[in-house]
Amino acid sequence: MVATAREVIEYCERHIPSKPFHARIPDYLRGGMGIPMDVFPYTLVEAQRMLGEGTGVVPVALREGIWLLDRARVRKGLMEEQEVQVAASTQDNGPVEHGRGI
């Protein structure tokens, strides 16, 4: 059986206990990068939840962020999910701008 990267990530998130968000940050910080950067080590499930709620940094990061590495193509998958959600909300409620109907 061949699993997609997304299936592997989802399996790991369901079966491997995760550290709290703030405890994960040091795992991803690297010295000597030469540029300032913010690290947001959300799990895929956390990112999907924030995207669905329209809260947190995930929607902004998808629009404005620069992804340095995305081997699993998580960004593409999240952007596709966001497009589906926007399309669904537009069909249900008419056009939406910044969380308000227009």
pTM of the model: 0.57
pLDDT of res. 96: 47
Burial category of 47 from C-beta neighbours within 10 Å (exposed 0-12, middle 13-18, buried 19 and up) = buried
Q: What distance separates the 2 farthest-apart alpha carbons in the chain?
A: 49
Tens place of pLDDT per residue across the chain (102 aa) = 566 777 777 766 666 656 888 888 888 777 776 777 778 888 888 888 888 888 888 888 888 887 776 767 777 888 888 777 777 776 655 554 544 444
Work out the angle between the directed axes of helices 44-53 and 5-15 (0-180°, nearest 10).
Answer: 100
Tracing tokens 């995930």 back to the chain, one arrives at 58
pLDDT of res. 4: 74
- Hey, where are the domains in the chain? 5-93
Q: What is the 3-state secondary structure (H, E, C) of 9-47?
A: HHHHHHHCCCCCHHHHHHHHCCCCCCCCCCCCCCCHHHH
